[in-house]
Amino acid sequence: MKVSVILGHPYNNSFNHALAKEVLETLHDNNHELYFHDLYAEGFNPVMPVNELSSNQSSDPLIIKHSSEIKEADGIIVIHPNWWGQPPAILKGWVDRVLRQGVAYTFDPDDNGGGLPIGLLKAKVGLVLNTSNTPDEREISVFGDPLERTWKSCIFSFCGVQVFDRIMFSVVADSSEEDRREWLVQAVELVNRHFPPNN
């Protein structure tokens, strides 16, 4: 399978980067073809230009590359921190510029965009690995776990990806080395569950 892995965290020594390393090694060991993008390292521009918004097309070579790969991916894995109940701005910009109409979804020819979308992505599975400094119980009871709604319903389901799974690792700020080792094991288990060895 072709699996697209998208990382959105600015610090090279972050736990997000450790998660990405484990995810990539697991997918490689399981003989899957990888597309990997560290958005900060690439200098990805999250700002939507006016001409892109009006045309649903981009002349930016990096956007064209991302769009081409995401259309070919059989699975998508996104790794990012929880900032204000949202992905970092660079990742929100990736969604805006890459998962756009004509690439990730469309509408019926007589629909001006107010009806039900038709998902175009061939990916069968979408996984999200998040880190947070908010305890799980507070994230759910007080904030309603907005990242779950955003990724599951507003993005993946909208684009035709029907199998969704997500795990939140928290509280990172207070975590021990043992906690982080266990979280890495959980991440590997999640990847193996959805992308087992490809023999």
Q: Look at the chain and report how many structural domains it folds into.
A: 1
What average pLDDT does the segment 30-34 reach?
A: 97
- Give me the domain span that covers residue 14: 2-194
Neighbouring C-beta atoms of residue 68, cutoff 10 Å: 12
CATH of the domain at 71: 3.40.50.360
Q: Which residue has the tokens 């021990």?
A: 176
Tens digit of each residue's pLDDT (9 = 90 or more) over 51-106: 888 888 899 999 999 999 999 999 999 999 999 999 999 999 999 999 999 999 99
98 falls within a domain = yes
Determine how β-strand 163-169 pairs with β-strand 125-131.
parallel
Q: What is the pLDDT of residues 94-125, one digit of tens each?
A: 999 999 999 999 999 888 778 889 999 999 99
Signed CA dihedral, 104, 128, 151, 198: sign only: positive
CB atoms under 10 Å from CB of 163, counted, come to 12
Which residue has tokens 């981009």?
Answer: 58
Instruction: Examine residue 13 and state whether it is found in any structural domain, yes or no.
Output: yes
CA 14 to chain centre: 17
Residue 68 lies in a domain: yes
Reduced to 3 states (helix: H, G, I; strand: E, B; else coil), residue 131 is: strand
| Minimum mean pLDDT range among 38-42, 110-114, 133-137 | 133-137
The Cβ of residue 192 has, within 10 Å, a number of other Cβ atoms equal to 14
Report pLDDT digits (tens) over 148-159.
999 999 999 999
Token pair of 178 as six digits: 């043992």
C-alpha gyration radius of the chain: 17
Confidence of residue 136 (pLDDT cuts 50, 70, 90): low
Supply 167's token pair.
């795990």
Going by the DSSP 8-state scheme, the letter that residue 10 receives in this structure is S
pLDDT at 97: 97
- Do residues 118 and 108 lie in contact, with contact meaning Cβ atoms separated by under 8 Å? yes
| E-only strand ranges, the chain | 2-7, 33-38, 75-81, 105-106, 118-119, 125-131, 163-169
Token output for 81: 């921190």
Has residue 174 been placed in a domain?
A: yes
Whether the CB-CB separation of 128 and 82 falls below 8 Å is answered with: no
What pTM did the predictor assign? 0.94
Residue 45 lies in a domain: yes
What letter represents residue 138's amino acid? R
Residue 199 included in any domain: no
- Please check whether residue 188 lies inside any domain of the structure: yes
